[in-house]
């Protein structure tokens, strides 16, 4: 855990969040600035700067994150219609919190290409 990391502090329960689901490896909470009716962030409980780092250090956590994202999408009623998982990596990709996270987006039509 990094003491100065916002998401580490949310995962540790130090900062309140609208937590919707969790497992041993990850936690999901609603984004404070949603861009879709379903907009949940899924973060690893351990600090990793991005998803590539999670995959390298602890692939089981990456799998747990994707499974949790599916569980959240199904619970929010968007699992059947479709949902998008977004992982921004690096400042140029608009990653603003450098703790790995997936955005679970659903409940509206998603354009293609994204960005």
- Residues catalogued as catalytic: 101
CA distances from residue 73 to 1, 36, 48, 94 in whole angstroms, order as listed: 27, 12, 23, 23
94 φ/ψ sector (left φ>0, alpha ψ -120 to 50, else beta): left
H/E element holding 20?
A: strand 19-22
H/E element holding 39?
A: strand 38-44
Structure-block tokens of residue 2: 């990094």
């Amino acid at each position: 855990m990094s003491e100065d990391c916002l998401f580490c502090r949310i995962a540790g329960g130090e900062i309140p969040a609208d937590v919707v689901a969790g497992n041993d490896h990850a936690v999901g909470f609603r984004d404070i600035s949603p861009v879709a009716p379903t907009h949940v962030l899924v973060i690893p409980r351990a600090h990793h700067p991005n998803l590539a780092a999670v995959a390298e250090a602890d692939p089981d956590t990456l799998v747990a994150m994707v499974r949790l994202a599916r569980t959240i999408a199904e619970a929010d009623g968007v699992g059947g219609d479709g949902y998008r998982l977004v992982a921004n990596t690096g400042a140029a990709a608009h990653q603003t919190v450098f703790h790995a996270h997936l955005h679970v987006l659903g409940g509206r039509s998603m354009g293609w290409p994204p960005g």
